[in-house]
Every structure is written in C-alpha cells, then in structure tokens.
Amino acid sequence: MRIMVGALAFASFIFWFSAEARLTKVFKNKKSAKKNITIGFLLDGFTHYNARPDSKIGKWLTKVNNKAEALLKKDLGMDITLEISSFKVLHHKLDRVIKTWTTDGQMHADTVVGYMKTYFTEGYNPDILCLVTRYKLYGDNGLNDEPGYSKHKDLCKDMVPTIMQYNLRDTKKSGKSII
C-alpha cells in the first residue's frame, strides 16, 4: 500500500511541476448584443479624497465618461457601455518615474503612454486605463492642442493606455479624448 501511495504522490508531484504555467485569456462580450468596455482612471497630482465618485473630480470624470459613451454609441451605431472600474491615485513609484518625463508643467505624452503600456502588462487591467493629469501634454511635434493622447487603439488585443488633461470646462472635448 505504501508503494502505491508513494507512486501516486510522486506521479502527482512530477505532473504538477512539469505543467507549463500560462495566463488564460478570457474574451469578454462574445456573442453579446451589449458591449461593455471597462475604464480605470489613475489620478496624477490628486489626493485620495479625489479618488472617489462623489468628489469634484469623480463627478467630472463621470460626465466625461458619459460623453465618451454617447460619442461611441453615435459613431459605431452599437449599444456600448463605458463602465468605470476604478478611480485610483497614482502609486508613488509610478509617479516618480512619470515625473522624469515632465518639465515646466508639461508632460511628454508619447513616452508616458508607452511606459504605461509596459508597466501595466501583468494582472487585471481595465480595457482603457486613463491617466488624468493637470499637466499640459506635448509630443515630438511640440504642444498638443487636444486635452488627451493615446497611440494605441486596439481594445480587442490589449489594454489601451491614454492620458487626459484635467479640464473642468470642456467635458465633451475631454470625452472625445478617451475614445
């Protein structure tokens, strides 16, 4: 009996450690009439008080989200829901790295978006991850007139990082920058 138990334990041990560990991709919205797109907001230069839906910034981001959802529905002619998954203050390590690409109140948008893409490859992420900042955005062509920036557009393959400048007045223009 000991030999049988030992053989089973050894076989289980070999099988367990020889199996390849893989990340399983789950495709959402398959065969569904209504499409849900999750969006998470990272707040740069804001307090934890601001990282709540009932704060001034939370209410503004909800309006921006609603404008973006309406624009998506109109442009694509589909029933789409932009679901806010989180409001989070930027982690201090990420904040420190991003500040290296920020000078005189201006942020190099292309570099920051590229870094966000690599930084957030592991773990659960929303479909769109939006960095909300007070900095003006600039790129290789100089200052960006738009309040947002993203170079990645394919939601089907991976998380799409974006940057949006915090601007209380123009929620429609800010909503357009998310999509």
Query: Is the pLDDT score of 177 beyond 80?
Result: no
What pTM does this model have?
Answer: 0.71
| β-strand partners of 162 | 130
Query: Is the pLDDT score of 170 beyond 70?
Result: no
CA torsion through residues 57, 35, 121, 150, sign: negative
CA torsion through residues 43, 44, 47, 48, sign: positive
> What pLDDT, in 10s, does the model give residues 86-139?
888 988 888 888 888 888 788 888 888 888 887 877 666 788 888 888 888 876
Report yes or no: 48 and 89 within 8 Å, Cβ to Cβ. Answer: yes
Strand order in the sheet with 136-139: 102-103, 106-108, 136-139, 142-143
Q: What is the pLDDT of residue 19?
A: 46
The CATH homologous superfamily of the domain defined by 29-178? Collagenase (Catalytic Domain) (3.40.390.10)
Helix (H) / strand (E) containing 171: helix 171-178
Counting every residue written for the chain, the total comes to 179
